[in-house]
Homo-oligomer: A and B are copies of this chain.
Amino acid sequence: MNELTISLKAGDKIPLYEQIYSYIKEEIRKGVIPSGEKLPSTRALCRHLDVSRSTVELAYEQLLSEGYIEAQPYRGYFVSDIEGLCQFSGSGSTEEKRERKTQKQYRYDFTPSGVDLKSFPYNAWRKLSKECLTDDRAELFRLGCPQGEYGLRSAISSYLHQARGVNCVPDQIIVGAGNDYLLMLLCSVLGQGHKVALENPTYRQAYRLFANLSYDVHTVDMDSKGMRVDRLRASGADIAFVMPSHQYPLGTVMPIRRRIELLRWAEEEEGRYIIEDDYDSEFRYKGKPIPALQGYDASGKVIYIGTFSKSIAPAIRMSYMVLPEPVCRMYRERCGFLSSTVSKVDQMILQKFIEEGYYERHLNKTRALYKSRHDTLLSALRDVESDIRISGENAGVHLLLHFRDGRSEEELIQRAAEKGVKVYGLSEYYVDGKEKAGETVILLGYANMNEEKIRQAVKLLGEAWEKET
Interface residues in chain A, defined as those with a beta carbon under 8 Å from any beta carbon in chain B: 17-18, 21, 58, 61-62, 65-68, 80-82, 84-85, 87-99, 115, 117-118, 120, 122, 125-126, 129-130, 133-134, 136, 138, 140-144, 150, 165, 167-171, 177-181, 184-185, 188, 191-192, 205, 208-209, 212-214, 225, 253-260, 263-264, 286-288, 290-291, 295-298, 309, 313-318, 334-335, 337-346, 394
Contact in complex: B260, A94 (CB < 8 Å): no
Choose among A205, A343, A346 the residue with the greatest number of B CB atoms under 10 Å from its CB. A343
Residues of the B chain whose Cβ atoms lie less than 8 Å from the Cβ of A260: 82, 84-85, 88
In the complex, are the beta carbons of B177 and A342 less than 8 A apart?
yes
A125/B133 contact (C-beta < 8 A), A167-B90, A338-B209 known: yes
Chain B residues, Cβ within 8 Å of A315: 140-144, 343-345
Q: State in angstroms the CA–CA spacing of A18 and B171 once bound together.
A: 31
A343-B176 Cα distance, complex, nearest whole Å: 12
Q: Are A317 and B296 in contact (CB under 8 A)?
A: no
Chain B positions within 8 Å of A188 at CB level: 184, 212-213
Residues in chain B near residue A91, CB distance under 8 A? 167, 297-298
Are B257 and A141 in contact (CB-based, < 8 A)? no
Whether A122 touches B118, Cβ cut-off 8 Å, given contacts A255-B67, A313-B141, is no
Indicate if the CB atoms of A286 and B61 lie closer than 8 Å: yes
CB-based contact A341/B178 at 8 Å: yes
Given contacts A171-B98, A256-B66, A339 and B317 within 8 Å (CB-CB): yes
Check B290–A66 contact: CB distance below 8 A. Answer: yes
* B94→A168 contact, CB < 8 A: yes
CA distance A317 to B192 in the complex (A): 27
Q: How many Å lie between the Cα of A167 and that of B288 in the bound state?
A: 56
Q: Would you call A88 and B298 a contact (CB within 8 A)?
A: yes
A290 touches B65 (CB 8 A): yes
Once the chains are docked, how many angstroms separate the CA of A338 from the CA of B89? 34
Known contacts A133-B125, A298-B88; A256/B169 CB under 8 A? no
Identify 5 new A-B residue pairs, CB closer than 8 A, beyond the known A65-B253, A177-B181, A343-B343: A67-B259, A90-B297, A96-B169, A125-B133, A180-B339
Shortest beta-carbon distance, A129 to chain B, in Å?
6
Q: Is the CB of B141 within 8 A of A316?
A: yes
The minimal Cβ–Cβ distance linking A56 to chain B, given in whole angstroms, is 12
A232 CB, min distance to chain B CBs, angstroms = 17
- State whether B117 touches A21 (Cβ < 8 A): no
- Minimum CB–CB distance from A345 to chain B (whole Å) comes to 7
**Closest CB-CB distance, A124 to chain B, in whole Å?**
11
- Closest B residue to A146 by beta carbon equals B180
A339 and B93 alpha carbons, distance in the complex (Å):
30
Closest residue of chain B to A309 (Cβ to Cβ) is B143
Whole-angstrom CA separation of A79 from B418 in the bound complex: 50
**A88 to B120 CA separation, bound complex (whole angstroms):** 38
What distance in Å separates the Cβ of A171 from its nearest Cβ neighbour in chain B?
6
Q: For A65, A94, A165, A290, which residue has the most chain B Cβ atoms within 10 angstroms?
A: A65
Please, which residue of chain B has its CB at the minimum distance from the CB of A18?
B288
Which of B296, B317, B346 interacts with A89 by CB under 8 Å? Answer: B296
Chain B contacts for A258, CB-based, 8 A: 67
Chain B residues near A209 (CB-CB < 8 A): 338
A181 touches B58 (CB 8 A): no
List, sorted by A's number, 16 A–B pairs whose CB atoms are closer than 8 Å.
A21-B287, A58-B287, A65-B290, A66-B255, A67-B255, A67-B257, A82-B257, A91-B167, A91-B298, A99-B171, A129-B133, A130-B130, A142-B315, A180-B339, A181-B181, A212-B335
